[in-house]
Structures are given as structure tokens and as C-alpha cells.
């Protein structure tokens, strides 16, 4: 009877020890899951704060891009005005040497204005380039962080923002390419204006020389007569 009781007590004690071990193991697993979830929550809060900061920074980038686009439109308007003034000045010069010299000065001034405009446009393109590189770097970082977050099953508004930013980058690339093409056209036009001014100067020198020669011959004939 005593041996049976001892065996029952031993089995019960072993069962209790196994249960306590399982409970302890479960408690450790629960604590580990809690710590993991806490770390994930902290990281998610950091990501939300970083995302809010990125939104503010992107808003500033959009304002800067809008300002640059406005500056480009203003430069295009100034260029068209200069072209109209140059065409009107050349049309009103005629063959009078004095007027031609005045037109020459006006054309030279317009060429200088076009060169100044070209310099401003190149500066604008450089700003676009720097802004593009900044946005691209931040977008790559945002994509990387979002992909890391997707491993934990996070679905946030960052994906929508990334698509919008990628669209803006493509538009900015097109704008930069258009600006580069426009600068190339301006450079050709400025070179053409320089050549026209050189030709005009040579023609004016020839006209002035002929006029002086004619005046000298006329004066000599008058003295002889």
C-alpha cells in the first residue's frame, strides 16, 4: 500500500514539474514576444516621426521646384521680348551708317542680355540638378525603409507618397532635359548674333572707308578746279 502511494506521489510530482517547466517556457516565450512587439512599436513610432519630417521636407522641395519653374517661365518671356526688340531694331536701321552704328550698339546690348539670360538659365538648371539629386537620394532611402517595413507587414501611406515622388522625379527629368535643349538653342543664337555683329562691323568699316575716300577725292577736285 505504501509503495503504491509512493509511486502515485512520484508520478504526480513529475507531472507537476513538467507543467511548471512548460508554464515557465510559455512565460519566457510570451515575454520575448512582448519585447519584440515593443521594439517594433518603438521602431514604428520612429518611422512615423521620420515620415512626418520627410513630408515637411518634401513640401519645401515642392515650393522650391515651383519657384524654379516660375523663374524659367520669366526667363522665356524675357528672351521673347529681347528677340522682338532685336528684330524691330534691325528692321529700322536701314542703310544709314549712323543708324547702323546705333543698331550695332543695340544688337550688342541685346546679345549681352541674352548671355546674361543664358547664365541665369544655367544657374537655374544647376539648382534643378541639385534639387533632383536631393530628392532622388531621399526617395531611394524612403524606398529602402519602406521595404524593410514590409517585412513586418506594415502598410502605410509611404507607398502612395513614393509613387507621387517618382512621378515628380520623372517630370523634373523632363524639365531639366527641356532646359538643357533650350540653353543649347540660346548658345547657337548668341553665336549667330556675334557673327552677324562682326559682319555688320566689317560692312560699316567698308562703308566708312568708301565715304572718306569719296569725300577726299571730291575735296581734291574742288581745289584743283
Better pLDDT: 90 or 76: 76
All residues at 6 or more sequence positions from 22 whose CB lies less than 8 Å from its CB, including other chains? none
Domain chopping of the chain, boundaries: 54-207
What DSSP character marks residue 155?
Answer: -
Spell out the long-range contacts of 132-139 with Cβ–Cβ below 8 A and sequence spacing 24 or more.
Answer: 132/169, 132/172, 132/173, 132/176, 134/61, 135/58, 135/61, 135/165, 135/168, 135/169, 135/172, 136/169, 138/54, 138/57, 138/58, 139/165, 139/166, 139/169
Of 36-45, 148-157, 203-212, the poorest mean pLDDT is in 148-157
Share above pLDDT 70 across residues of the chain, in percent, rounded to a whole number: 32
State the Cα–Cα distance between residues 33 and 133, nearest whole angstrom: 41
Better pLDDT: 132 or 225: 132
Q: Are 86 and 109 in contact (CB under 8 A)?
A: no
Residue-level pLDDT at 225: 54
State the Cα–Cα distance between residues 157 and 162, nearest whole angstrom: 9
Question: Model confidence at 4, in pLDDT bands (50, 70, 90)?
Answer: very low
Amino acid at each position: 500500500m505504501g509503495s503504491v502511494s509512493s509511486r502515485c506521489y512520484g508520478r504526480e510530482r513529475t507531472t507537476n514539474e513538467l507543467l511548471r517547466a512548460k508554464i515557465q517556457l510559455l512565460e519566457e516565450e510570451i515575454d520575448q514576444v512582448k519585447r519584440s512587439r515593443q521594439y517594433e512599436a518603438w521602431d514604428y513610432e520612429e518611422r512615423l516621426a521620420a515620415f512626418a519630417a520627410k513630408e515637411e521636407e518634401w513640401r519645401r522641395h515642392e515650393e522650391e521646384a515651383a519657384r524654379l519653374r516660375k523663374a524659367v517661365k520669366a526667363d522665356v518671356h524675357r528672351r521673347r521680348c529681347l528677340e522682338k526688340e532685336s528684330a524691330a531694331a534691325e528692321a529700322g536701321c536701314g542703310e544709314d551708317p549712323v543708324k547702323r552704328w546705333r543698331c550695332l550698339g543695340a544688337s550688342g546690348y541685346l546679345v549681352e542680355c541674352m548671355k546674361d539670360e543664358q547664365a541665369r538659365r544655367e544657374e537655374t538648371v544647376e539648382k534643378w540638378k541639385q534639387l533632383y539629386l536631393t530628392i532622388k537620394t531621399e526617395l531611394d532611402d524612403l524606398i529602402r525603409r519602406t521595404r524593410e517595413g514590409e517585412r513586418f507587414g506594415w502598410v502605410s501611406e509611404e507607398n502612395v507618397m513614393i509613387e507621387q515622388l517618382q512621378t515628380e522625379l520623372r517630370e523634373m527629368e523632363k524639365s531639366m532635359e527641356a532646359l538643357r535643349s533650350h540653353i543649347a538653342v540660346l548658345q547657337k543664337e548668341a553665336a549667330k548674333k556675334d557673327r552677324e555683329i562682326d559682319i555688320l562691323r566689317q560692312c560699316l568699316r567698308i562703308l566708312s572707308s568708301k565715304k572718306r575716300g569719296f569725300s577726299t577725292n571730291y575735296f581734291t577736285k574742288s581745289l584743283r578746279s
